[in-house]
């Protein structure tokens, strides 16, 4: 098909290509459909008579299974390692704890600038990265990670970003994931050698949602904090949510974290 005029390719042929990767992920099929749509749009700009078949393609690749969540024992292990200031990955453990107790998507946290952090109000402002509901929201800083966030603010004063590389440069999420996160998981005995990618950074977000549910956080407030639009929650409810109300809900997660780690001073 690569050497044929775009106008000669039929819906059936595109569907055949889509079916050929049915054993791959649903996400991969979505990306292929997007590419086909973009090619058709480009052809239209070039004034070629090409039909955009993308909306009519059937996607039936397997959907990714639900992400795993960190166990209480793993959370406790990571928390205490993050407090040691020793070992090659203790600072990365702090990043993991911040992800786990804010519910931020990894790409959101790595885009946060220090100017987006208000230590007085104990919150992080984020532009979001995925959905309309995830944009321009405020995320409270739970007490257990308050000192961690402060350390990140002061670690490399010259950098405008909260998450930085060891040299103070902006940290690339993909590189961190490969060079720091997975080695940390191996160091902590969380990801075994035969399954080195068992836990991924996004598992932190799912862990936060799980902790919040266990702690009894209000569902509507949780949707607001993690940037999920719940159709059962009205827009008015979202609009009138205050930081004080969100912090009260986050304090429930703080108390649960204290019970998991056994460090009751976290609630102070």
Number of domains the chain is built from: 2
CB of 246 within 8 A of CB of 138?
Answer: yes
Cβ–Cβ under 8 Å, residues 100 and 148: no
Assess if residue 233 is contained within a domain: yes
Q: Are residues 137 and 168 in the same domain?
A: yes
Domain hosting residue 252, numbered range: 72-267
Question: Are 35 and 111 in a shared domain?
Answer: no
Cβ proximity of 61 and 23 under 8 Å: yes
Cα atoms found within 13 Å of the Cα of residue 244, Cβ hemisphere only: 1
Residues 55-93: tens digit of each pLDDT:
888 776 655 555 689 999 999 999 999 999 999 999 999
The predicted structure's pLDDT at residue 233 = 34
pLDDT of the residue at 179: 94
Q: Residues in the chain with pLDDT < 70?
A: 23, 60-67, 128-136, 228-241, 268
pLDDT of residue 151: 97
Q: Residue 197 has what pLDDT? A: 87
8 Å CB contact between 105 and 134? yes
Is the residue at 64 inside a domain? no
Helices (H) and strands (E) in the chain — how many of each? 12, 3
* Helix or strand run (H / E) with residue 191: none
Q: Give yes or no: residues 27 and 81 share one domain.
A: no
């Amino acid at each position: 098909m690569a050497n044929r005029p775009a106008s000669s390719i039929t819906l059936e042929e595109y569907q055949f290509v889509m079916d050929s990767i049915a054993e791959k992920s649903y996400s991969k099929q979505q990306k292929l459909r997007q590419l086909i749509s973009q090619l058709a749009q480009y052809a239209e700009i070039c004034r070629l008579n090409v039909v955009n078949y993308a909306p009519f393609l059937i996607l039936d690749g397997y959907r990714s299974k639900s992400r795993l969540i960190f166990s209480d024992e793993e959370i406790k292990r990571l928390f205490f390692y993050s407090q040691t200031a020793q070992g090659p990955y203790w600072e990365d453990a702090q990043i993991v704890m911040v992800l786990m107790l804010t519910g931020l998507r990894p790409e959101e946290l790595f885009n946060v600038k220090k100017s987006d952090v208000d230590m007085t109000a104990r919150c992080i402002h984020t532009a979001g990265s995925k959905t309309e509901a995830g944009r321009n929201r405020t995320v409270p800083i739970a007490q257990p990670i308050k000192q961690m966030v402060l350390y990140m603010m002061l670690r490399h004063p010259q950098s405008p970003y909260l998450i930085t590389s060891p040299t103070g440069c902006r940290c690339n999420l993909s590189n961190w994931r490969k060079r720091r996160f997975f080695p940390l998981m191996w160091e902590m005995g969380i990801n075994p050698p035969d399954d080195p990618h068992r836990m991924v950074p996004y598992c932190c977000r799912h862990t936060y949602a799980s902790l919040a549910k266990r702690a009894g956080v209000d569902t509507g407030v949780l949707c607001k904090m993690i940037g999920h639009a719940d159709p059962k929650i009205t827009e008015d409810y979202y609009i009138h949510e205050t930081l004080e109300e969100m912090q009260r809900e986050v304090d429930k997660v703080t108390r649960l974290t204290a019970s998991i780690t056994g460090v009751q001073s976290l609630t102070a």
